[in-house]
């Protein structure tokens, strides 16, 4: 949303305000005011007009403008009702030089997980990709994945869902000894060793999604399934972006917070890493995101891989 439209919207939310007043206040023509009001109506904002002027009666349930409205984070939000993959779209935007953009979709038709796995993304979810260009060496990038997991966990907890994090980046809800996946995160990046060109953090949250519409073998859950009613996706997305914004300023703190929410620490784990299997007790996490496993013989830090929680011996 451009700056003037933002200002029009802010004025309307404090309304009523007349067209001529608004034109004078923002130093634009009356017809420009009218065009902004019409564009906002088209985006789903309910703008009433009476003798006194315009006022904002309701904000759309979801969408780019809806999420940007009163968002306390410097992201522009590009919304799609349906798109193959928000990460793929964010890569195109990265190639054209964009930054601080969020690509958001109601549905993905080609959602991707790690290692080319599929990510099922029916309508009703929050499927988004954050594109940003942090001034850090590439080796620190994993910390942003952890930051995203922390932000998603906190946002879910604020809504009343008792989420925890499985290393490195699965957000789960545990009940009766079963872990159900609520959120998946896929991070992609480009740059040279000492300089990151861009990072894309793709976050998929099963928000208002029926578990029956998700792959059963994956043991999925959703915010609506946990709470027994749909959540306000606009509010959830805003909180997620605001929390991530805070954490990305200080990735070391994000790692510390990650420890608080971790369900992995203290558990017996088996991690399939690119260079082999590591099994033992997960004892800690180290900046920027390595898992420290005590195998009984030694402590090994693994920086990437698929992690299984095992039954205690």
CB of 195 to ligand BT5, least distance (A): 25
Of 40 and 94, which CB lies nearer to ligand BT5 in the complex structure? 94
Of 38 and 306, which CB lies nearer to ligand BT5 in the complex structure? 306
CB of 218 to ligand BT5, least distance (A): 3
CB of 184 to ligand BT5, least distance (A): 2
CB of 115 to ligand BT5, least distance (A): 6
Of 36 and 181, which CB lies nearer to ligand BT5 in the complex structure? 181
Please measure the distance between the N-terminal and C-terminal CA atoms of the chain and give it in whole angstroms.
55
Of 134 and 202, which CB lies nearer to ligand BT5 in the complex structure? 202
CB of 238 to ligand BT5, least distance (A): 17
* Tokens matching residue 34: 């009218």
Of 286 and 306, which CB lies nearer to ligand BT5 in the complex structure? 306
Of 129 and 224, which CB lies nearer to ligand BT5 in the complex structure? 129
Of 47 and 205, which CB lies nearer to ligand BT5 in the complex structure? 205
Residues in contact with ligand BT5 by CB under 6 A are 85-87, 108, 111-115, 117-121, 127-129, 181, 184-186, 202-204, 206, 214-215, 218, 220
Q: ∠ CA 16-21-26 to the nearest 5 degrees? A: 110
CB of 288 to ligand BT5, least distance (A): 19
CB of 230 to ligand BT5, least distance (A): 16
Q: Are strands 290-294 and 299-302 parallel, antiparallel or unpaired?
A: antiparallel
């Amino acid at each position: 949303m451009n700056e003037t439209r933002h200002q029009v919207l802010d004025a309307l939310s404090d309304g009523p305000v007349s067209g001529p007043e608004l034109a004078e206040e923002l130093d634009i023509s009356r017809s420009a005011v009218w065009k902004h009001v019409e564009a906002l109506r088209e985006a789903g904002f309910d703008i009433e007009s009476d003798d006194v002027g315009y006022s904002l009666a309701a904000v759309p349930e979801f969408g780019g403008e809806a999420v940007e409205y009163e968002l306390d984070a410097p992201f522009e939000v590009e919304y799609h009702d349906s798109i193959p993959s928000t990460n793929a779209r964010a890569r195109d935007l990265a190639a054209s030089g964009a930054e601080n953009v969020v690509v958001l979709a109601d549905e993905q038709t080609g959602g991707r997980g790690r290692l080319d796995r599929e990510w099922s993304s029916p309508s009703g979810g929050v499927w988004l990709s954050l594109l940003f260009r942090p001034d850090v060496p590439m080796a620190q990038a994993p910390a942003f994945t952890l930051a995203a997991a922390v932000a998603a966990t906190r946002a879910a907890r604020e809504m009343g869902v008792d989420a925890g994090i499985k290393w490195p980046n699965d957000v789960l809800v545990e009940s009766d000894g079963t872990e159900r996946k609520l959120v998946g995160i896929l991070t992609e990046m480009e740059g040279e060793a000492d300089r990151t060109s861009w990072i894309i953090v793709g976050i998929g949250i099963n928000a208002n999604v029926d578990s029956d519409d998700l792959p059963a073998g994956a043991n999925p859950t959703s915010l609506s399934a946990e709470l027994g009613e749909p959540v306000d996706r606009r509010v959830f997305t805003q909180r997620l972006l605001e929390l991530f914004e805070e954490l990305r300023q200080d990735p070391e703190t994000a790692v510390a917070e990650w420890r608080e929410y971790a369900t992995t620490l203290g558990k017996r784990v088996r991690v399939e890493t690119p260079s082999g299997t590591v099994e033992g007790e997960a004892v800690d996490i180290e900046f920027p995101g390595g898992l420290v496993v005590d195998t009984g013989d030694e402590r090994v830090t693994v920086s990437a891989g698929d992690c299984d929680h095992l039954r205690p011996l």
